[in-house]
Every structure is written in structure tokens, then in C-alpha cells.
Structure 1
């Protein structure tokens, strides 16, 4: 009998810089683990600010409301920039003109997942890069279609899905479920469906947790 893959569900928002850092650290952890443990990695939606309109909000105004202005935001982002530099992420916060509503980006990630975990992973990377490195508005349909094409999705189908509102309710329900489970911040790594690892933890800690839980699961199966 083939062993069931070890599941990793990452609750994340693509407008969250720590989620981008967390992804890089997870990638490093998975590279370290290699083929030792069969893994099934899925990206799950979360919205840090679901109140943002579809068109997003002027970044300067948004930072004014959240931090008290760009200068205060820059101080708040100092640790993010430093952590990003360690993971070779060149955060260009100054290039972000619009704080994006990410609901449609999460729909796109969901559709990418239907094409395979590798396609979904690539889509998440593309959206993070577009927002944090290129300053693109990832709530804009034209930008999402560009991302879809880069990830290898059929842009005609994606355009129709975006216009139809497909899976909007499913995504919001999944976010509500994460909140009901107690997820109040992201990234949150849910290991094997039961164990939550909060925050952008170091790659070594993520790999250690996966190995430990997988080992306990194997020993439990043998005892059973």
C-alpha cells in the first residue's frame, strides 16, 4: 500500500511580505527534505484586509491610515527588508502604487491548483514577485491575466472565470474556515492537517517539524 503524502497547507495572503519570506524559507526546507518524505503542498487563501475595494487603494493613503505615513511604514518595514535580503528578495515597497484587494488573486491561485501543485506554486511566486518586486496591482484583472499566462494557464478561460465571479464564495468561505480554526495571522503552515506552525519560521525549523511529525506518524502506523 502506498503511503499517503504528508500534507502542508499554507494559509497566506499575497499582499503579506512575511508570507513571501515564508515561502522562500519553505522552499529551502522542502529542498533539504528532498524525496525523503512524499509531500502534498497546497496554498490556502487569507485576506489581511478584505475591506479594500476591487480597484485597491492608493498606497500612500493606505500607509497613512495604517502606519501614520510612508516614513513610519518604512520604519515598520525595516525588519521585513532585512529578512527579505537574507532570502534574496528585493522588496521594492516604494514602487507599489496600489494596496491591492487580493480576493481575485486567491481565485487565480485556486484555479492554478487544479492544474497541479507545481503550477499553483509557480503562480504564488509570480504574484508575490509582481506585487513586491515590480509594484504591480495584483487586484487588477489585466495583471492577473498576465500572471495566468506566465504560469501556463489558458488566459481565455481565466478571463471568463474572473468575469463570471466563479469560486468567489468558495474562497471567502475558505478564509472564514481558517479564521474559525484560529488562524489570526499569516503565514500559517498546517502540517499533516493537525499541527500549526505560525509565522515565517526559519527553513531549518520547518524541515525539523515536518520530519518529526512524519516520523511520529510512521511510528504510530507501525504500532497500529
Structure 2
């Protein structure tokens, strides 16, 4: 189980969350500015459980509309060929397990970026294990070790525990940000357009 220690920044995300993809440029700036000031911990939130059921057409249209909204709001690029070239499923737990398996090799962020680029730019489906295994190799992971970890009971248990911990601190939507200090845990409002606002809030909290 995740331990709670002072001065920690929790980032609750899902590899297949489109708003997390939209937030990526701002989040990258926040990490760069604060990496020497606070311990940054990623928590997978588990957007959608395992499913082999094809996503209903209405849900596909709804999610594609979210993409368009994010694109219009933030200028984030999306490849809408995904909806034509794949059989989408409402299933993000495989991608969550993939980043946890990559974390075992110290490569969570590399795997996350590979999944996001594959999904949103290359119209590939990260709900499929074979896609995730290919992405692990492309991200420079030991593919054989990745396959073992990805399919292990330990990673599945880690996923369940991480989701439970994220929920316990209020991480019910993605992305979510929480700052923990000696005074407790504070949730920050996600500012999708300004890294500096969030950086300032975090610096103020850890200086109190």
C-alpha cells in the first residue's frame, strides 16, 4: 500500500484519459519546475475495467466529441482515424497494468508517453495487449520482463491497491492533483492552460 509522507505531489491519471493527454504540456512544465522541490508520485486511476465488449456507437461518438472539445479548447492534436481503424472497447485497465509493469523497470513515464502517442496520434488501440507489448519494446523496455510483469497477479493487485488509494484521497476524476504536507492532503484545481498558477499554489503549500 502507498505510504503517506510529507511534501508529496500526487498525479492521478489514466493512460487512456483524453483530458490527461490535453493536460500533458502543462503537466510536463509543472514536473520540470518542481522535481527538485517535492516528491512527485503518479497514481493510475483506472478509468474503465477490463472488457471485451465493443464500445456502442453512441459512446464512440460521445468520446470523439470529447476529443473535439479538448482540441478546440487546448489545441491538442487527435487522430480520428482511431474510430475507423479499430474496434474500440471501454477498457483502460490493460493500459494501466502496462504502465505499472513499466514502472518495475523505471520506465513508467516512457510507457505512458508511448501509449498516449499510439492512441491519440497513431490510431492504435491500447486496450489490446499485443499493442501494449509492442509499445513496451518501442519504449526501450525489456520486452520479455514486461510480458511477465504485465500478466502477473502482483501487477493486478498493485493496480487494485493504487486505484483504492487514489479514491481514498479523492482522486475520482482524471487528471487530479493532490499536495501532501505535514498539514494533510489538499486537492488542487487542475488549470489546463497555466502551469505557473499550479506551481505557485504548490510552492505556497510546501513553504507553509
Q: Which category of TM-score, normalised to the shorter sequence, fits these structures? A: 0.7 to 0.9
Larger Cα-atom Rg: 1
Would you say 1:160 and 2:129 are equivalent positions?
no
User: TM-score, normalised to structure 1's length?
Assistant: 0.75
1:41 Cα deviation after fit: 2.4
Task: Give the unaligned 5+ runs of structure 1.
Answer: 217-224
Mapped partners of 1:145, 1:48: distance in 2: 20
Question: 2 CA distance for matches of 1:135 and 1:102?
Answer: 15
Normalized against structure 2, the TM-score is what?
0.80
Matches within 5 A, 1:167-178: 167-178=155-166
Aligned pairs, number: 197
Residue of structure 2 in register with 1:9 after alignment: 10
Check 1:93–1:172 CA distance in 2 against 1; reply closer, same or farther (3 A cut).
farther
Partners of 2:11 and 2:43 within 8 A in 1: yes
Counterpart position of 2:40: 41
Could you say what the CA RMSD is over the residues aligned between the two structures, in angstroms? 2.6
Q: Aligned partners of 2:53 and 2:41: how far apart in 1?
A: 26
Secondary structure of the structure 1 residue equivalent to 2:154? coil
Matched residue of 1:186: which SS? Answer: coil
Gaps of 5+ in 2: none
* Native 8 Å contact 1:191 1:210 kept in 2: yes
1:73-222 mapped onto 2 (5 Å cutoff)? 74-85=64-75, 89-96=76-83, 97=86, 98-116=88-106, 119-192=107-180, 194-199=185-190, 201=192, 202-216=194-208
